[in-house]
C-alpha cells in the first residue's frame, strides 16, 4: 500500500497548481491518496488568494489524477505550526505512514517511488526517523558512495515518516522546557544541529514563534531519540516558494541539485559520516555572523545558563 500524500496549502494558487501538476505526473499518482488541507483566511487581505487556492483544489478533487483526492477545509484559521501538526496527525493516524508536501514543493516524476521505497525499506530501522526527498548542493556529497545518505538534520521539503515515529513528536516540546538550562542537553543539541538550541529558545521567548513553527520541534524529537533522516544524493524536489509569496527568506548557499530524471536507487543500511554531518550542519547556518553568534552564545550558556537566559529575555522583550 502506497503512503498517502498530505498537501498543505493556504494562499498561493499558482504554486499549488504547479505542485499538483508535478504530483499528478508521478508514476505512482494513480495509486496514491491525496489529502489537501486548507482553512479560512487569517486576514481579510488573504481572502481572494485563499479562495483561488481552494478553487484549484476543487478542480483536482473533480478530476481523476490520483487514487483519491480529498479536500479538508478547516472551518477556522489555524496558525501554521498547530495546523501542520493537526493535519499530519489526522492522516498518519488513518494510514500509519505519510508523505508531506507543502504548496511550494515541486516533485520529480519518480519522487513518490523513492519515498515509498524508503518508507518500506527503513520502516524497521531504529536509526531512521524520517525520509526526505531533498538534498543540497554540497561538495562533499560528491564523495558519498551510493545513491542515498544519512544525516541528523530533518528537512521539511517533501518528507515522510511513520506513525510510531510521529507518536514521539511533541509540538510544544515540554521536555525541552524542563531541560533547557542543562549544559549536557544543550551540548548534545548543538552537536546535532548547531542552530537548534537557539531556534528552540526562540519558541518560548519570541512572541508568536511557537505558532509559526513545527520543524524545530521535529529536529528536537529526532535528536532526543537518536534517529536521523535518509536523503537522496540528488534532490527529487525543488522549492519554488522563495519568490516573496511565502513567509521565509531566500536561503543562501544551498544550491540546486534537483534532478527530475533519476528513477532508480539502491537502498542499503546507513550510518552517519561525521565529516559529512559537520559540513551539512554548518551549511544550513547561512551567514558567518550567525555562526559566530551561535558559537558565542553557546560559550556564554556553558559559563552561566542563568545569565544567558536573562540576556535572551531582555533581547526578545
Given this model, what pLDDT does residue 250 score? 46
Are 123 and 129 in contact by the 8 Å Cβ rule? The answer is: no
Q: Give residue 248's pLDDT band: very low, low, confident or very high (50, 70, 90).
A: very low
* pLDDT grade for 283, boundaries at 50, 70 and 90: confident
Cβ proximity of 59 and 31 under 8 Å:
no
HEC string of 22-47 equals HHHCCCCHHHCEEEEEECCCCCHHHH
pLDDT above 70: percentage of residues in the chain: 96
- pLDDT of res. 281: 87
CB atoms within 10 A of CB 40: 13
| C-alpha 234, offset from chain centre | 17
Cell numbers at 65, concatenated: 489524477
What mean pLDDT do residues 267-276 have?
95
Our measurement of the distance from residue 210's CA atom to the centroid of its chain's CA atoms, rounded to an integer in Å, reads: 15
* Range of lowest pLDDT (16-30, 110-124, 238-252): 238-252
DSSP-based three-state secondary structure for 274: helix
φ/ψ of residue 315, rounded to 5:
-60, -50
- Give the Cβ contact number of residue 27 at 10 Å: 14
Task: Give burial (CB, 10 Å; 0-12/13-18/19+) of 11.
Answer: buried
Read off the C-alpha cell for 230. 535518509
3-state helix, strand, coil in the chain (%, to 5): 45, 15, 40
Instruction: Give 104-147 pLDDT, tens digit per residue.
Output: 999 999 999 999 999 999 999 999 999 999 999 888 888 888 99
Q: What is the pLDDT of residue 252?
A: 47
Confidence of residue 284 (pLDDT cuts 50, 70, 90): confident
The grid cell for 314 is: 531582555
Unique residue bearing C-alpha cell 487569517:
42
Cβ atoms of residues 203 and 173 within 8 Å: yes
Count Cα atoms within 13 angstroms, Cβ side, for 280. 26
Higher pLDDT, 141 or 25: 25
Q: In which element (H, E) is residue 81 found?
A: helix 80-95
Query: Cα–Cα distance between 219 and 193 in angstroms, integer?
Result: 8
What is the mean predicted confidence (pLDDT) over 284-309?
90
What average pLDDT does range 199-212 have in this prediction?
93
Range in 68-77, 79-88, 226-235, 276-285 with the lowest mean pLDDT:
276-285
pLDDT confidence of residue 291 = 87
Tell me the domains of the chain and their CATH numbers.
Answer: 5-171+214-286 (3.90.550.10), 172-211+287-317 (no CATH)
- Per-residue pLDDT of 55-103, as tens digits, reads 999 999 999 999 999 999 998 998 999 999 999 999 999 999 999 999 9
Indicate whether 157 pLDDT > 50. Answer: yes
User: What pLDDT is attached to residue 256?
Assistant: 77
Helix axes 196-205, 183-192, angle to 10 degrees: 120
Q: Is 249 exposed, middle or buried (0-12, 13-18, 19+ CB in 10 A)?
A: exposed
User: Between the CA of residue 159 and those of 110, 148, 156, what are the distances in Å?
Assistant: 14, 14, 6
Question: Which residue blocks in 206-317 are alpha helix, DSSP H?
Answer: 209-212, 215-224, 274-283, 288-303, 305-316
Q: Give mean pLDDT, residues 42-65.
A: 96
Amino acid at each position: 500500500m502506497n503512503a498517502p500524500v498530505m498537501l498543505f496549502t493556504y494562499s498561493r494558487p499558482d504554486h499549488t497548481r504547479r505542485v499538483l501538476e508535478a504530483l499528478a505526473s508521478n508514476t505512482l499518482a494513480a495509486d496514491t491518496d491525496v489529502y489537501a488541507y486548507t482553512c479560512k483566511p487569517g486576514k481579510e487581505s488573504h481572502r481572494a488568494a485563499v479562495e483561488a487556492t481552494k478553487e484549484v483544489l476543487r478542480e483536482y478533487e473533480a478530476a481523476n489524477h490520483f487514487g483519491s483526492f480529498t479536500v479538508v477545509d478547516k472551518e477556522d484559521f489555524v496558525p501554521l505550526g498547530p495546523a501542520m501538526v493537526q493535519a499530519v496527525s489526522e492522516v498518519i493516524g488513518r494510514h500509519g505512514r505519510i508523505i508531506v508536501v507543502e504548496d511550494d514543493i515541486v516533485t520529480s516524476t519518480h519522487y513518490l517511488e523513492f519515498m515509498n521505497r524508503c518508507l518500506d525499506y527503513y520502516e524497521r530501522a531504529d536509526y531512521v526517523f524520517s525520509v526526505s526527498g531533498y538534498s543540497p548542493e554540497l561538495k562533499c556529497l560528491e564523495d558519498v558512495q551510493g545513491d542515498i545518505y544519512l544525516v541528523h538534520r530533518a528537512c521539511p521539503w517533501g518528507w515522510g515518516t511513520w506513525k510510531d515515529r510521529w507518536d514521539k513528536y511533541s509540538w510544544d516540546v515540554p521536555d525541552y522546557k524542563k531541560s533547557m538550562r542543562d549544559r549536557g542537553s544543550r551540548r548534545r543539541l548543538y552537536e546535532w544541529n548547531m542552530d537548534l538550541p537557539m531556534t528552540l529558545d526562540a519558541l518560548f521567548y519570541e512572541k508568536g514563534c511557537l505558532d509559526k513553527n513545527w520543524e524545530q520541534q521535529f529536529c528536537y524529537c529526532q535528536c532526543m531519540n537518536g534517529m536521523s533522516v535518509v536523503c537522496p544524493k540528488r534532490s527529487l524536489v525543488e522549492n519554488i516558494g522563495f519568490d516573496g509569496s511565502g513567509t521565509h527568506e531566500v536561503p543562501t548557499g544551498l544550491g540546486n541539485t534537483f534532478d527530475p530524471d533519476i528513477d532508480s536507487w539502491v537502498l542499503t543500511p546507513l550510518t552517519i559520516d561525521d565529516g559529512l554531518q559537520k559540513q551539512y550542519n554548518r551549511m544550513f547556518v547561512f551567514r558567518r555572523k550567525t555562526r559566530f553568534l551561535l558559537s558565542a552564545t553557546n560559550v556564554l550558556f556553558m559559563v552561566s545558563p542563568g545569565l544567558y537566559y536573562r540576556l535572551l529575555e531582555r533581547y526578545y522583550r
